[in-house]
Chain A
Amino acid sequence: MRRTLEYESYGARLQVGSSDEGLLLAADERVRSCLLGRLKPASAGPFDIVIDLSREQGTFTMDRNGAYLSSGDNEHTFFKFFDAIVRISVAEYARGLVFLHAGVVGWRGKGLILPAQSFRGKSTLVMELVRAGAEYYSDDFAILDRKGFVRPFPRPISMRTRDGKFDTYELDANELGIVADDHPLPVGMIFLTEHRPKARWRPQVLTTGEAILETIPFALPLQRDPQLCLKVLNRVAANAIIAKSPRGEARRTARLLLDFFDRTLK
């Protein structure tokens, strides 16, 4: 018999259903851990996200909002994908908040946001910034509110091996440095960077319009609520410095970036 579990997280309403009780319990555990426990039961619909899970003859299948999403026979991989889908879906449907795909640290009482796609070295740079004394906020999402403040989402830092296999492993940020509690910070800087071999560090400050344009691709609710996205990004850009530069090795970049932050925002 199909059973469902309902949640609300950051205003997004999520339902997970399955007729496989073992699968449902595993999914429940995963939802709670991937959202850092920042959720509460939702009593009734409608739901923004409906995920259906099934398992037949060793093959796992996932649908989202009535459409087939993925299937596979490796349970570990399947639930890692489920983890990503839950987080991204909540980020997409959160109410009154704009989730950017970004690393975030706190420095001198302000937020430093690092938007980047996967495989661009974002988590490595966040790790080095925390080692250099910055406060860990997230290596996954910058959660921006309407006032232009950034909230923490301090999940374990997700790293990839550099042996060409890109296997993932997690770092506990508590072992590296200070991890943010729940207090939001005003955004001081958004810095767009990615690792390139032999890159030359040369920060270029952007105009407000250029800054929003370059940040837009990382805004997860863009398709659903473009008005909110642009409004919040405009608010942030009006009060923060937004700059970009390619970067080389992460440890050195962390020191250069914090120095640039200090000089620009003094």
Chain B
Amino acid sequence: MQTNPKARQNGLVVQDMPGEVLVYDLDTNKAHCLNSSAALVWRSCDGTRSISDIVREFANSGAGTVSEDFVWLAIDQLQENKLLERDIKPHFAGQSRRQVLKTIGLASIVAVPVIASLVAPPSALAAVSCTCSTGGACGTYPAGQCASTNNCNSSGVCAP
């Protein structure tokens, strides 16, 4: 029996804004921006609503008419980004996710659910700096951030 999806609550910092939701995951240091469709699906995942219930939520909210595949697309992305409490196997009626996305994208007047994500730097120092005291420190900065990964120059900068 298919379990109803439930939005994760713990370990998340959530900011609502018009038409979007920003979620920061404290466990993974990842930030996610959910567009209006992804946000509506996520907010509807209370553990009691089935996929067809969530389809009805869309219609009731005035956001438009969507298919179950549309909702599954959002569920798939939410799951991939660990924003659901339990794993749910996607159900795209025999199609691949790419095929579903293409079909939905062409037919839908409702914005396709999209979650944009990025990983935040692991520390404040890693976020901003290429300063160093020895060359060894230069290897600890994110790849590509500094001009050198192993040389600390006379100005105290990770550079040749």
**B124, A209: Cβ atoms under 8 Å?**
no
Considering the complex, give the chain A residue whose CB is closest to the CB of B119: A217
B50 close to A (CB within 8 Å): no
Given contacts A212-B33, A226-B26, contact A234 B124 (CB under 8 A): no
Q: Are A166 and B124 in contact (CB under 8 A)?
A: no
Query: With an 8 A cutoff between CB atoms, is B106 at the interface?
Result: no
Residue B123 interfacial (CB < 8 Å): yes
Most buried by B among A74, A83, A216: A216
CA distance A204 to B20 in the complex (A): 18
**B55 at the A interface (CB under 8 A):** no
- CB pair B17 A238 closer than 8 Å: yes
Which segment of B59-67, B89-97, B151-159 sits at the interface?
A: B151-159
Q: Which residue of B lies closest to A82 (CB)?
A: B133
Q: A70 to B19, alpha carbons, bound, how many Å? A: 46
Whether A216 contacts B120 in the complex (CB less than 8 A), given A77-B133, A119-B145, A164-B160, comes out as: yes
Scan residues 127-186 of chain A and give those whose CB is less than 8 A from a CB of chain B: 160, 164-168
Q: How far is the CB of A203 from chain B (nearest CB, A)?
A: 19
**What are 26 A-B pairs with beta-carbon distances under 8 A?**
A77-B132, A77-B133, A81-B131, A88-B128, A88-B129, A92-B124, A117-B127, A117-B128, A118-B145, A118-B157, A119-B145, A119-B146, A119-B147, A168-B156, A209-B19, A209-B20, A209-B21, A209-B34, A213-B31, A213-B117, A217-B118, A217-B127, A219-B127, A222-B24, A230-B22, A234-B17
B110 located at the interface, meaning its Cβ lies under 8 Å from any Cβ of chain A in the complex: no
Minimum CB–CB distance for B144 against chain A, Å: 9
- 9 further A-B pairs in the complex, CB-CB below 8 A; given A76-B156, A77-B155, A81-B137: A72-B152, A84-B129, A84-B156, A167-B155, A209-B33, A210-B116, A218-B127, A222-B127, A230-B22
Q: Shortest Cβ distance from B143 into chain A, in angstroms? A: 12
Is A62 located at the chain interface by the 8 A CB criterion? yes
Contact in complex: A70, B132 (CB < 8 Å): yes
User: Whole-angstrom distance between the alpha carbons of A165 and B124 in the complex?
Assistant: 25
Residue A221 CB within 8 A of the other chain: yes
Which residues in A have their C-beta under 8 angstroms from that of B123?
A: 223
Chain B, residue nearest A78 (CB): B133
Is there a chain A Cβ closer than 8 Å to B139's Cβ? no
Kindly state the separation between the CA atoms of A222 and B134 in the bound complex, as whole angstroms: 27
Q: How far is the CB of B12 from chain A (nearest CB, A)?
A: 9
Q: How far is the CB of B21 from chain A (nearest CB, A)?
A: 7
